[in-house]
Structure 1
């Protein structure tokens, strides 16, 4: 998807399609390409899909947190003249979508959460991986998926590069601490908008009980399971993910 990247001002993003806007928010170790199949499907089927690169490693350290990433999303929407949008987030991206919704619910038409943080944080396990330990990084990266083969060498190399860069490590830890501070449990019952929760049954990062809790706390939510699937359903089982979401949009008239 790098061939479709646009850079305008401080925003780098991909955009395609016409119709209601879907803004996709990637996770802490995620990239735009994680959503390639979802981007292609919905941009070809009546939606305008935008995926901004989140400034996870470029914000000032004191502003590297969930709150300021949500403000970045607000600025991006204003820059693109989007009054309201469907927000689709995976992992940290889901958390950003939830925090944004807490403060700007009128700007959100619907939420789509998959492997979202916001209630339970275990993204890096009990400790941050030791710098230089490639085998550990490889094991951690592959464990995100039900099928470890999804964790390609290119993906492992990207994560390895992040954890061996001091600037990236400091900001990754800052975001992780911020995610724990901004637990959304008390805020979810006030979010009345339609919410689609799509979860991998074998998600080891945000386990199935997290999806159940989101479903219980979000008053207008529907929960769908994908079997033989880990933390990134839109990447590991894209056809099933897209089918579930497209039907939900149709049923909910979104």
Structure 2
């Protein structure tokens, strides 16, 4: 199902369902549609909210993890959100970690999937090859176990993004900000119960990264999905939703 975006001031977002908020943060090349299956699976239990982070459009001097954190802080305040189930993929996981440490009182549960924050192997940090469709297609396919998951629409979207010099400059700057921001010494202070859902075949944040998050975050549980790479919620949505649903029901029953 295609979900319509809403606009409130500077914020563009999807919001579906009722209940406690499930706030979802997308990755560097993420799109709101990446989480359609998560919305389908959880809108009956949660108020699922996905803001579009201004990765490509924010002023270059603000293009950093700190700038994205401030944006999410402003969004949460504008929407008056609390008791968050906070889910982040890739770069979105990194921002979710920063938010959880800055506002532990707001985060009831944390979910990370393919999160940066410890190590990531991406094309960020070097200038993406503008105008080279074959290269962009190869890099998008690299994020999936099954290259066919990288649909033409998805490749076209990434190609359009990387065809813009200002957008590329923001991508590189934010990617470098993420690479500099290793959180190994900080995430031991994460207070929220944390669910780690990792692709067993992740080439960008490999399985050992999931194990390291699990070792460092005190109250965390790690789950792997086979034949799955960096975006489990897209590539193996049924398995992802099943793991997350069981985890949330267990944690929220205990609490």
Is the TM value for this pair above 0.5?
A: yes
Q: CA deviation at 1:253?
A: 1.4
Kept after mapping to 1: 8 A contact 2:114/2:199: yes
1:176-224 per-residue CA deviation (whole Å, 9 max, x = no partner) reads: 1110122111111111210000000000111100000000000000000
Q: Take 2:72 and 2:28, find their aligned partners in 1: how far apart are those partners?
A: 15
Unaligned runs of at least 5 residues, structure 1: none
Matched, 1:143 2:142: yes
- Cα distance in structure 1, aligned partners of 2:127 and 2:60: 18
Aligned length: 253
Residues 14-34 of structure 1 deviation map (CA, whole Å, 9 limit, x = unaligned): 111111110000000010000
The aligned counterpart of 2:96 is 97
Could you tell me whether the CA contact under 8 Å between 1:121 and 1:179 is conserved in 2? no
Distance in 2 separating the partners of 1:242 and 1:2? 18
Could you say what the CA RMSD is over the residues aligned between the two structures, in angstroms? 1.3
Contact 1:66 1:96 in 2 (8 A): yes
**Distance 1:57-1:126 versus aligned 2 partners, 3 A rule:** closer
1:67-216, aligned counterparts within 5 Å? Answer: 67-124=66-123, 127-216=126-215
Q: How does 1:234-249 map to 2 (within 5 A)?
A: 234-249=233-248
1:48 positional shift? 0.7
Runs of 4+ with deviation above 4 angstroms: none
Structure-1-length-normalised TM-score: 0.96
Deviation track 1:44-71 (CA, whole Å, cap 9, x = no partner) reads 2x11100000011221111111112111
Question: CA 1:208–1:87 in 2, change beyond 3 Å: closer, same or farther?
Answer: same
Q: Is the 8 A contact 2:86 2:96 kept in 1?
A: yes
Return the TM-score normalized by structure 2.
0.96
1:41 aligns to 2:35 (yes or no): no
Query: Residue in 1 aligned with 2:15?
Result: 15
Q: SS of the counterpart of 1:4?
A: coil
CA distance in 2, matches of 1:106, 1:75: 16
